[in-house]
Amino acid sequence: MSVASVAPLTGGLTPRRLFRLLAVAETATWSMLIVGMLLKYAAGGTALGVSIGGGVHGFVFLGYCAASVFIAVNQGWSSRVTLITLASAVVPYATIPAERWLERQDLLDGGWRREPTDDPRDHGALPRLLRWALAHPMRSSIVGVVGLVAVFTVLLTLGPPGGRA
């Protein structure tokens, strides 16, 4: 199935576009967090900027990681490529170079894999879950967002990395 025939089903959001969108969002939220930290620690301001920037960054970080795994399964990435992609979210501003690297390696090419192929990797649990999610976009989006909010809530309850200042 070509990307053009899949586009109406996914609103034109190809794996490449989704990854690029989240790579840029992750970078933008790093900026928010860093500016908040500078205002708090270097300028003697309040923790409000860190709270807002950290919260937004944390939510986008989780979304980027979840989408990276989803795209990795769709694209058939190796564990090494998937781990590099996930690690790029931990280093400030590394998601855009990671996206460029994936682009140069042609690892973001193609559309969503809605049908199994002869490839043995297409018959595992994760590829089947991917195909189910793609076949039921509204249900899977709701489940994904609820799951993301649940993880985010648990992490907020536990507190920020390194404890509260």
**pLDDT score for 165:** 58
Flag whether pLDDT at 8 surpasses 70: no
Distance between CA atoms of residues 42 and 44, nearest Å: 6
Provide the whole-model pTM: 0.84
**pLDDT score for 10:** 53
Residues 84-125 pLDDT 10s: 999 999 999 999 999 999 999 999 999 998 988 888 878 889
Residues 48-74 pLDDT 10s: 888 899 999 999 999 999 999 999 999
Flag whether pLDDT at 2 surpasses 80: no
**pLDDT score for 4:** 42
**pLDDT score for 6:** 41
Q: What does the mean pLDDT of the chain come to?
A: 89
**pLDDT score for 3:** 41
